[in-house]
Every structure is written in structure tokens, then in C-alpha cells.
Amino acid sequence: MKITKRFRIEPSSHIRLTKIASDATPGCHDKDAALETLGESLAAMRKLQYRLFAENRRSVLIVLQAMDAAGKDGLVQHVMSGMNPQGCRVTSFKVPSVQEKQHDFLWRVHQAMPPAGEIGIFNRSHYEDVLVVRVRQLAPPAVWKARYAMINDFEHYLSDNGVTIVKFFLHISRAEQAQRLQERLDDPDRNWKFTPADIEERRFWDDYQRAYEDVLERCSTPWAPWHVIPSDHKWYRNWAVAEILRHTLEKMDLRFPPPLHDVRDLRRRLRTQEARKR
């Protein structure tokens, strides 16, 4: 699928986010057409999720990373909400708890992995330990630099154990982020989402961009690829992610398991039972 290949970061790529247009809309330039196709993709994904659940052998992990206000919550709402909540769970990784700090940095991540037959969505993830930890100097460079290889090994282990991993970086411009933050401040219903830290973090924009570039270069692998999604246009972001997820699920060739019992015999027994009641 062209859209998947266009945004997928190939292993060992050299990434400069300033060279990637955050307002681009390749493959779909019309908002109305995107919304129509999005509906078709969501319907297809619901059917594929049902097959994943029935098969009960593999799982899917969706990783979302982005600068503040890039739309992780909005993406979950508009793209993932169509899935059956019984087989789809969202995990948001905040500041580690006291208990989590007593373990290695991947411990809490492993606890949140989706079991067979389910889809897991990470709203922020284990990558925070090479992003905010690096930018805010919460650990020495020798500590966080070693984590790239640990993450790749961890994701390889998950892949070998039946987890299909697909990762999205929602790429917005600094100007678009400022506009969205201003909209939050101007809307009383969204004031609660805003904290002084949102403004404080903007001071580190360039540092975060460099940190994300290293993540994309070092941790996009054949078994867990990164995709950089232009996200200045919310409608395009939703369309592109849905297209890639649909393609990912289709490529898994999900199959219903064979029935455990003789279906013809069960039909006969049901008909006999109903006939006796009459």
C-alpha cells in the first residue's frame, strides 16, 4: 500500500523532521473524501478485529507518540472508538509510580501488553524513557543511550511471540501546536487540559525534535516500524493512520478457527429440539 510505504521509516534512515512537511496530504487532498474513506476503513477494521479475537493467537500493539497537542487523544477517539471495547484497551503512560520506579523501565510496559486476540494502544509509551528522560536530563546519557538497543530487543521479543507492532509519530509544526494550545485556553470546556507545564515544555521544542529524530533512526525496525504522520490537518491524520492500520490488519491474514464441534450435527439437534417443543 503506497500510503504505508510513504510514511514508514526504513531501518537506518537519516531523519530530519524539518524536512518532512507536517501539513502535507499525500494520497488524499479532499477532506470529504477522506471522511468517507475513513468510515470504510473503520468498518473493515471492526471485522478484522473480530477475526483477531476469534483467532486468539496473536495481538496488535499500536504506539502513539507526539508533541503536546498533536492529537493522540483525538486519534484514539476518531479512529479507535469504532472497535469493540472488549478487545481493545488504551494505556496512557504518565510519570512512573513509586512501585514502577522499583523495576526496570520496561516492566510497566510489559504489564500493559495486550493478550492474544486483543489490540493495545499506548498513548505515550516506553519511548518516554529516551525522550523526556533525555530532554529533561532525568538520567545520565549513558543510561538512556543504552535503552535504544533494549527497546529494539524488547520489541523483537514481542514480535517473536505473536505481537504485531505498529508505531506512529504524529508530526505537527510548532506554529500549529501554538494555535491548538491557544484554542484550549480560549475554550472553557478544554481549560482543564491545560497546565503551565504545557508552556514550559515548548522551551525544549528543538531538543525534543532531535530526540524524536534519534528514536526514528534507531528504533524503526522490520518487526516494529515507525511511521511519521503529517498531523497539522486532523482529518488527514485520522485518514492516514486508519489506512495504515487497516492494511496492517489485512496483511496479518486473520482467520476464523475451525469449529470445535460438528456444525451439521448441532443444526440437526437444534431442529429436533424445536420440533419437540411444538
pLDDT in tens, 137-190: 999 999 999 999 999 999 999 999 999 999 999 999 999 999 999 998 999 888
Sorting pLDDT into bands at 50, 70 and 90, what band is 275? confident
CATH number at residue 113: 3.40.50.300
Phi, psi of 222 (to 5 degrees): -60, -30
In this prediction the pTM is: 0.94
pLDDT in tens, 179-235: 999 998 999 888 887 888 888 899 999 999 999 999 999 999 999 999 999 999 999
pLDDT in tens, 253-265: 999 998 878 778 7
Enclosing domain of residue 214: 2-277
Are the CB atoms for 125 and 63 separated by under 8 Å? yes
Residue 105 one-letter amino acid: F
Is residue 62 over pLDDT 70?
A: yes
Residue with cell 549513558: 142
Comparing CA positions, the residue from 167, 164, 141 lying closest to residue 251 is 164
Please report the pLDDT score of residue 191 as a whole number: 86
- Domain count of the fold of the chain: 1
CA 11 from centroid of its chain's CA atoms = 19
CB-based contacts of 72, cutoff 8 Å, min separation 6:
64, 65, 66, 123, 124, 170
Average pLDDT estimate for 36-58: 96
Residues written for the chain:
278
Please report the pLDDT score of residue 1 as a whole number: 57
- DSSP H helical ranges for the chain: 2-7, 31-55, 72-75, 98-101, 107-111, 132-135, 141-145, 147-160, 174-186, 196-202, 205-219, 234-251, 263-277
